[in-house]
């Protein structure tokens, strides 16, 4: 059974030969992997029979992105970012921190409509997408489009970058027309951008991964009623568009989003990614019991505690427990709640993969 057969059986809530496996790695962890093993990340994925593979995506060919003397630069939204190199145990991570949110001072609708920084889907070259998909398909792998961290199909997160986190959340309650206008422009871009991706893929793309953080550690960032009012329309439009091309949809969100899961399901979402175990209300067994027949789960392994700081035995136990909680009847892809980062010992990453081989074969123990 190859990766595509295995994964699509799981998505259809059937039990394949083993639990499908995904592996997310930050650039810091990739550098660490190369330094400690002299192995390219792609070879590491092959060695461990990882099922999902992520396309490089379209190439940016738009207007030159402005760079400043202090090292900061603007992204495609005109958001100015400053690189921040953060030392962590075992390595370092590079983050592009928001320095200037260009719509932070907007007070009128005209400020939104007249903003010159709205991007265009014409700024990308899509012709390589089909070949990127075919390379993975020829290996029997699942071809996934995700995009980079700063350009991922989303609504709220780009609005946070443009307006500022606190400001856009305040807008949702106090300036709803401004909030809706920003979110609408973001949504319109991503609908056109995603359509160009799907057209270029020519039927070879398997999964779209959206990424929009809707939760904090303790609860949703917006109430279910507010999410339904401002975000569900676009969320469902993204999914409907993908489904019209035969593409399944996975959504990544960090945090405590249990109250929003029924709305995700109502919108047609196929796979919910993260299941951040430290977040409130995200107990894997409870989520499987409540929603497991209607949505596939992905993730659940702690990158806040167990993988960076636990022993190899603790990693093994967590993998075993997540498989037992989530894998019965299909509907689960084993993975981490977010990227393995440079603070994760390579021994723990290997322990995770070994535990998947040990416990991941069907039928799994309940």
Domain that holds residue 141: 3-62+118-359
89 in a structural domain: no
Pairing state between β 80-88 and 124-125: unpaired
Domain membership of residue 67 (yes or no) is: no
Cβ atoms of 15 and 362 within 8 Å: the answer is yes
Q: What is the pLDDT of residue 366?
A: 77
Task: State phi, psi for 271 to the nearest 5 degrees.
Answer: -135, 130
Give me the sign of the Cα torsion angle 73, 74, 79, 84: negative
Query: Domain containing 284 — which CATH number?
Result: 3.20.20.210
pLDDT value at residue 31: 95
Domain membership of residue 100 (yes or no) is: no
pLDDT at 89: 87
DSSP strand pairing (80-88 vs 91-100): antiparallel
The Cα–Cα gap between 243 and 130 comes to 18
DSSP annotation of 71: S
**How many beta carbons lie within 10 A of that of residue 88, not counting itself?**
15
Look at residue 81 and tell me if it is in a domain.
no
For residue 361, the 8-state DSSP code is: B
How far from 16 is each of 52, 72, 137, 145, 163, CA to CA, in Å?
Answer: 15, 48, 18, 23, 45
Long-range contact set of residues 356-360: C-beta below 8 Å, sequence gap at least 24: 356/18, 356/19, 356/21, 356/319, 356/323, 358/316, 358/320, 359/319, 359/320, 359/323, 359/324, 360/18, 360/19, 360/21, 360/323, 360/327, 360/334
CA contacts within 13 A on the Cβ side of 260: 30
Query: What string of pLDDT tens digits covers the 366 residues of the chain?
Result: 999 999 999 999 999 999 999 999 999 999 999 999 999 999 999 999 999 999 999 999 999 999 999 999 999 999 999 999 999 988 999 999 999 999 999 999 999 999 999 999 999 999 999 999 999 999 999 999 999 888 999 999 999 999 999 999 999 999 999 999 999 999 999 999 999 999 999 999 999 999 999 999 999 999 999 999 999 999 999 999 999 999 999 999 999 999 999 999 999 999 999 999 999 999 999 999 999 999 999 999 999 999 999 999 999 999 999 999 999 999 999 999 999 999 999 999 999 999 999 999 999 987
106 part of a folded domain: no
Domain assignment present for 91: no
Please report whether residue 248 resides in a domain. Answer: yes
C-alpha span between 17 and 3 (Å, rounded): 10
pLDDT at position 33: 96
Contacts of 283 (CB under 8 A, 6+ apart): none
Asked, for residue 179, whether it belongs to a domain, the answer is yes
Task: State how many domains the chain has.
Answer: 1
Q: Does the global pTM surpass 0.85?
A: yes
């Amino acid at each position: 059974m190859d990766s595509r057969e295995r994964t699509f059986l799981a998505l259809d809530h059937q039990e394949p030969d083993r639990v499908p496996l995904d592996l997310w790695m930050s650039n810091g962890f990739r550098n660490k992997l190369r330094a400690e093993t002299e192995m390219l990340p792609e070879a590491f994925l092959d060695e461990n029979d990882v099922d999902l593979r992520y396309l490089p995506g379209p190439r940016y060919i738009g207007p030159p992105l402005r760079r400043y003397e202090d090292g900061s630069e603007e992204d495609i939204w005109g958001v100015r970012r400053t690189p921040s190199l953060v030392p962590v145990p075992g390595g370092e991570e590079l983050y592009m921190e928001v320095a200037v949110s260009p719509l932070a001072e907007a007070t009128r609708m005209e400020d939104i409509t007249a903003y010159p920084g709205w991007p265009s889907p014409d700024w990308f070259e899509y012709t390589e997408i089909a070949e990127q998909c075919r390379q993975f398909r020829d290996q029997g792998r699942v071809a996934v489009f995700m995009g980079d961290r700063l350009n991922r199909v989303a609504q709220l997160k780009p609005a946070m970058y443009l307006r500022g986190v606190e400001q856009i959340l305040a807008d949702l309650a106090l300036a709803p027309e401004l909030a809706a206008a920003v979110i609408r422009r973001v949504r319109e871009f991503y609908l056109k951008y995603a359509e160009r991706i799907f057209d270029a893929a020519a039927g070879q793309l398997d999964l779209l991964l959206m990424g929009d953080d809707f939760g904090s550690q303790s609860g949703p960032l917006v109430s279910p009623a507010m999410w339904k009012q401002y975000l569900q329309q676009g969320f469902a439009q993204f999914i409907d568009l993908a489904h019209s091309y035969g593409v399944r949809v996975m959504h990544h969100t960090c945090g405590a989003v249990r109250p929003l899961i029924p709305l995700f399901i109502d919108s047609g979402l196929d796979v919910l990614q993260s299941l951040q175990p430290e977040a409130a209300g995200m107990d894997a067994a409870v989520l499987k019991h409540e929603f497991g027949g209607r949505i596939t789960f992905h993730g659940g392994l702690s990158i806040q505690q167990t993988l960076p700081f636990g022993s190899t035995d603790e990693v093994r136990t967590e993998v075993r427990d997540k498989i037992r909680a989530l894998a019965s009847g299909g509907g689960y892809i084993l993975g981490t709640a977010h990227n393995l980062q440079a603070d994760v010992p390579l021994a723990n990453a290997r322990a995770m993969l070994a535990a998947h081989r040990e416990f991941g074969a069907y039928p799994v123990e309940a």
